[in-house]
Amino acid sequence: MKIELKKVLVRDLVEDYEDNDELGVRAYGGKLDVRPPYQREFVYKDKQRDAVIETLRRNFPLNVMYWAVRDDGTFEVIDGQQRTISICQYVESDFSISIDGHQLSFHNLQQDQQDQILDYELMVYLCEGTDSERLDWFKTINIAGEKLTDQELRNAVYHGTWVSAAKKFFSKNGCPAYAIGSDYMTGSPIRQDYLETAIKWINNGDVDGYMAAHQHDPNANPLWLYFQNVIAWVKATFPKRRKEMRSVQWGPLYNQFKDADLDPVKLEAEIFTLMQDEDVTKKSGIYIYVLNREERHLSIRAFTDNQKREAYERQEGICPVCKEHFELAEMEADHITPWHAGGRTIAANCKMLCKEDNRRKSGV
């Protein structure tokens, strides 16, 4: 790989700056692709963005940037997208920073102050090499920066027509996936959480396998249609929205139960009751439980040490199943009347079984 150090003036960097949903982000007279397919969306917080401009304003050194040289002589950003966009947005007066107690955009500055920023020299390494060499370098230099998410790295490894298409659905602020799914998911579209989740859902958790198989597909329509179907099924099956729904992995439930004959009214009645049950400590698990009836998803409240001691003394250390005597540490608590039959997690409903009998009963 060939690497060359170049000094780039801010005034040259911001020339013909453009941020377009379809064409991406370009700068440097249209010769710099600021956001190639594998790059993350803009994720800087206001404090980070403002610090970049303050660095320029005070003539402090800004971290070096890395551009890849393309075959046609144009460039693409390997590292420095966040700083580049911060600089361009400020010169475009898209935001202001605090200077001497006043919030000033670029157009509010005096001419000499503007020129000082525009004449700032950025240090840029230009690299020429194969796609794989550039991507390897991209991973390496980002280790020291803000850590990329696993999905951001996958976007780099499998970049191509499919990633570009999928990001339009899943990876922008206010993207279509966020518009229909934000009540039912956690995470951030711009950090690729929505895209990663959708792929996990459609391919049983194998994100890399799906992206490798579809890397050169002309569009991501099958994934987007699948995602819409999942959300539509959730809304129809569980029409009452609750905050706990955002923690549920809906894809696997859709895959398993999409063709089941479900009654939303009966499901809601049971969910309503379970939400008020103090023994159910994981409320998001209720949605899984009402479909597959596996109590482990509810994390039923455990008996306290005092309740266990009370039951142990009441039984005089005798296991009611095998009738043998055990020390307290050799026994485990169980419900006398099972929770699913209405038994509560209270002292009067606690019994102590030897570990072997309790685990045999539980099928462990």
Rounded Cα–Cα distance for residues 197 and 177 (Å) = 11
What single letter denotes the amino acid at residue 37? Answer: P
pLDDT in tens, the chain (364 residues): 788 899 999 999 999 999 876 567 899 999 999 886 555 566 667 888 999 999 999 999 998 898 988 888 899 888 888 899 999 999 999 999 999 889 999 999 999 999 999 999 999 999 887 767 766 776 676 655 556 678 887 887 787 889 989 999 999 878 999 999 999 999 989 889 999 999 999 999 999 999 999 999 999 999 999 999 999 999 999 999 999 999 999 999 999 999 999 999 999 999 999 999 989 999 999 999 999 999 889 988 889 999 999 999 999 999 999 999 999 999 999 999 988 888 899 999 999 999 999 888 765 4
Predicted pLDDT at 288: 96
Closest CA to 214 of 150, 164, 152: 164
pLDDT of residue 54: 94
Q: Give the C-alpha separation, 323 to 276, whole Å.
A: 37
In this prediction, residue 304 carries a pLDDT of: 92
Tell me the H-state helices in the chain. 10-13, 46-57, 81-91, 111-118, 131-142, 150-157, 161-170, 176-181, 193-202, 207-214, 221-237, 250-257, 264-275, 286-292, 305-315, 355-362
pLDDT score at 160: 82
pLDDT value at position 194? 96
Among 148, 223, 234, 224, CA closest to 192: 148
Q: Residue 364's pLDDT is what?
A: 46
Is the distance from CB of 91 to CB of 113 less than 8 angstroms? no
**Residues in Cβ contact with 195 at an 8 Å cutoff, skipping those fewer than 6 apart:** 151, 155, 166, 167, 170, 171, 177, 189
| Tokens coding 51 | 């610090």
Residue 170's pLDDT is 95
Domains for the chain: give ranges and CATH numbers: 2-148 (no CATH), 237-298 (no CATH), 305-362 (1.10.30.50)
d(CA 221, CA 171): 15
C-alpha triplet 295, 233, 190: angle, nearest 5°: 95
DSSP, res 325: B
